[in-house]
């Protein structure tokens, strides 16, 4: 038997025979990129039509990575069984499954493609009979153990579980788009939703505060592109918007400053998108969440640019968006981002009219100047500022490496514990409430979120990045 992973795609299967190979090629490119980034060796990837088979020794580590690749609907660790006859197949499956169903209620399901001298129903029954002794019986509706067989000619893939992927379309199967990215709760979720639709997403951050916020936003950008953007190298455009904010506050009526600010953001995005061939902008707006996000405000602001605006969160409320942010892992870090975009004191315009446009000056020259002097980051962004680690006197932190096992092995850190993120909540017995823990992940985003959840359970924890951890060690030695 050979270890492998069954990879299932969703809506790619609905594509025509003419277009499906294009999506499947993108699918394979993303899978290989994800595995290579995480130092996971694999032997081969085969397309069986509606199923891909990945031959890989480290199936658990591979599944933890691949479940984040857009386009993958579900994954199952499997055993490949080569058989010569029905009798041979039943014997080999019995050997594999007998111990799994001991003292358990089980069910057997068979899917079959090819020409065989048996049918799926009779095979399932005979396999069930062969492993019945020692079990607690059969239940096809809700078994404790589900014995699944996918048979392709003389090969059978045996598996008992499936892990959900994020679904959608494979990276690069849709067009290039530019995300207006603040790093707050909404924009990372909006970027994720479009990555899930196969878009190549680049990111635009307009800096209104200074270097500390740029560093915090870069951490979230790094996390997103490392975990969900495959098959291409994303870019982060950083535009200094501090002068533009001063001009808006100086020259725009108080009630219209929020509208003017959003117009400036859209125009910056439009200039960059046209220069670097992005077909549309993405925003994290939800309808009527803020004064500048009423339907009339959004239509008014969008009318000032000639590029399409995509808003994947438009119908969601804040609770739904927050839930999505928690699932993808950005919530805790996003909550710490100080979004400086409230420029008005008192009442603001929520239903702008055409005559209001005359009250908003043209900032086109200043916008062009800001875009001309912007910084462009290709791939991961450098974070210049380190997180502040508050260490009380007399307290020693126990350090925990949350990175995937393959990265722990490839780039080892000197920590007290090594518990991959996927396993941390299944190993809470290892963490004591009278201790303090320093959790480490690559960019400090997952570790920050994990620390927040652990503190809810009474476990004292702080999350930091690998770079901050190394800085902490150097400081500790002095």
Instruction: Judge whether 87 and 56 are in contact, CB under 8 Å.
Output: no
Residue of 127, 147, 9, 7 whose CA lies nearest to 77 = 7
* pTM (2 d.p.): 0.89
Instruction: Give 33's pLDDT tier (boundaries 50, 70, 90).
Output: very high
What pLDDT does 390 receive?
52
Residue ranges covered by each domain of the chain: 2-164, 176-378, 397-477
The pair phi, psi for residue 405, each rounded to 5°, is: -55, -40
Question: What does the alpha-carbon distance between residue 222 and residue 224 come to, in Å, rounded to a whole number?
Answer: 6
Residue 339 in tokens: 């979004």
The percent of residues in the chain predicted with pLDDT above 90, rounded, is: 75
Give the residue, 295 or 471, on which the prediction is more confident.
Answer: 295
Rounded mean pLDDT of 278-306?
92
Residue 87 burial by Cβ neighbours in a 10 Å radius (0-12, 13-18, 19+): exposed
Rounded mean pLDDT of 204-220?
89
Long-range contacts from 258-261, C-beta under 8 angstroms, 24+ separation: 258/290, 258/291, 258/292, 258/341, 258/342, 258/343, 258/344, 258/348, 258/349, 259/292, 259/297, 259/300, 259/301, 259/348, 259/349, 259/352, 259/356, 259/360, 260/343, 260/360, 260/363, 261/292, 261/341, 261/343
Instruction: Judge whether 242 and 208 are in contact, CB under 8 Å.
Output: yes
Q: Report domain 397-477's class.
A: alpha beta
Q: What is the pLDDT of residues 36-70, one digit of tens each?
A: 999 999 999 998 877 899 999 999 999 999 999 99
What pLDDT does 17 receive?
85
Residues 6+ away with beta carbon under 8 Å from 179? 187, 190, 191, 194, 201, 202, 203, 204, 281, 282, 283
Residue 468 burial by Cβ neighbours in a 10 Å radius (0-12, 13-18, 19+): buried
Rounded mean pLDDT of 153-174?
94
HEC assignment per residue over 413-456: CCCCEECCHHHHCCCHHHCCCCCEEEEEECCCHHHHHHHHHHHH
Instruction: Give 85's pLDDT tier (boundaries 50, 70, 90).
Output: very high
DSSP class per residue in 151-194: EETTEEEEES--EE---S--TTSS-EEEEE--SSSHHHHHHHHH
> What residues are annotated to the active site?
441
What letter does residue 90 receive in the DSSP assignment? H
- Name the CA dihedral angle for 180, 184, 190, 194, rounded to a multiple of 10 degrees: 70
The pair phi, psi for residue 331, each rounded to 5°, is: -60, -55
Q: Which residue has the tokens 């096992």?
A: 405
Q: What is the pLDDT of residues 91-142, one digit of tens each?
A: 999 999 999 999 999 999 999 998 888 999 999 999 999 999 999 999 999 9
pLDDT at 339 over 80: no
Question: What does the alpha-carbon distance between residue 172 and residue 24 come to, in Å, rounded to a whole number?
Answer: 11
What pLDDT does 387 receive?
47
The percent of residues in the chain predicted with pLDDT above 70, rounded, is: 95
Average model confidence (pLDDT) across the chain: 91
pLDDT at 441 over 70: yes
Q: What is the pLDDT of residues 375-424, one digit of tens each?
A: 999 999 987 644 445 545 556 889 999 999 999 999 999 999 999 999 99
Instruction: Give 289's pLDDT tier (boundaries 50, 70, 90).
Output: confident
Residue of 413, 404, 411, 421 whose CA lies nearest to 463 = 421
- Quickly name the fold that domain 2-164 has: VC0802-like (3.30.2130)
What per-residue string of b and e applies to 256-284 under the rule 16 or more CB within 10 Å gives b?
bbbbbbbbbbbbbbbbbbeeeebebbbbb
Least confident of 7-16, 169-178, 431-440: 7-16
* Cβ atoms < 10 Å from Cβ of 107: 19
Question: What does the alpha-carbon distance between residue 111 and residue 121 come to, in Å, rounded to a whole number?
Answer: 9
pLDDT at 474 over 90: no
Question: What does the alpha-carbon distance between residue 279 and residue 308 come to, in Å, rounded to a whole number?
Answer: 7
- Quickly name the fold that domain 176-378 has: Rossmann fold (3.40.50)
């Amino acid at each position: 038997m050979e270890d492998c992973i069954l990879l299932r795609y969703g809506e790619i299967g609905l594509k025509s025979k003419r277009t499906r190979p294009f999506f499947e090629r993108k699918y394979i490119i993303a899978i290989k990129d994800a595995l290579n980034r995480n130092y996971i060796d694999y032997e081969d990837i085969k397309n069986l039509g509606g199923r891909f088979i990945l031959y890989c020794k480290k199936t658990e580590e591979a599944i933890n990575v691949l479940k984040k690749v857009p386009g993958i609907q579900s994954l199952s660790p499997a055993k490949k069984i080569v058989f010569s006859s029905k009798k041979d197949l039943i014997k080999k499956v019995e050997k594999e499954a007998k111990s799994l169903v001991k003292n358990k209620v089980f069910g057997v399901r068979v899917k079959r493609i090819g020409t065989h001298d048996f049918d799926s129903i009779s095979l399932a029954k005979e396999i069930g009979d062969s492993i019945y002794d020692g079990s607690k019986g059969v239940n096809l509706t809700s078994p404790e153990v589900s014995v699944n067989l996918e048979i392709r000619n003389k090969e059978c893939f045996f598996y008992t579980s499936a892990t959900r992927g994020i679904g959608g379309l494979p990276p690069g199967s849709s067009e290039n788009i530019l995300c207006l990215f603040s790093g707050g709760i909404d924009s990372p979720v909006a970027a994720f939703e479009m990555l899930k639709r196969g878009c190549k997403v680049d990111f635009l951050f307009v800096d209104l505060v200074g270097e500390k916020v740029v560093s915090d936003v870069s951490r979230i950008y790094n996390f997103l592109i490392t975990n969900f953007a495959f098959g291409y190298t994303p870019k982060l455009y950083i535009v200094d918007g501090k002068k533009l904010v001063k001009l808006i506050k100086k020259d725009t009526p108080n009630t219209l400053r929020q509208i003017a600010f959003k117009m400036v953001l859209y125009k910056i995005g439009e200039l960059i998108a046209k220069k670097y061939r992005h077909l549309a902008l993405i925003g994290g707006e939800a309808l009527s969440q803020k004064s500048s996000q009423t339907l009339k405000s959004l239509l008014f602001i969008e009318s000032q640019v000639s590029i399409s605006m995509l808003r994947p969160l438009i119908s969601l409320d804040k609770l739904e968006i927050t839930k999505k942010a928690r699932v993808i892992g950005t919530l805790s870090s996003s909550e710490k981002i100080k979004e400086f975009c409230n420029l008005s004191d008192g009442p603001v315009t929520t239903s702008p009219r055409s005559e209001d446009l005359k009250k908003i000056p043209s900032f086109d020259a200043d916008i062009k100047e800001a875009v001309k002097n912007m910084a462009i980051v290709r791939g991961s962004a450098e974070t210049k500022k380190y997180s502040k680690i508050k260490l009380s006197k007399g307290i020693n932190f126990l350090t925990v490496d949350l990175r995937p096992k393959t990265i722990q092995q490839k780039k080892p850190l000197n920590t007290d514990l090594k518990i991959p993120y996927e396993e941390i909540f299944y190993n809470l017995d290892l963490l004591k409430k009278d201790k303090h823990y320093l959790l480490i992940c690559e960019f400090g985003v997952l570790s920050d979120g994990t620390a927040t959840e652990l503190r809810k359970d009474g476990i004292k924890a702080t999350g930091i990045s690998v770079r901050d951890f190394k800085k902490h060690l150097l400081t500790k030695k002095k």
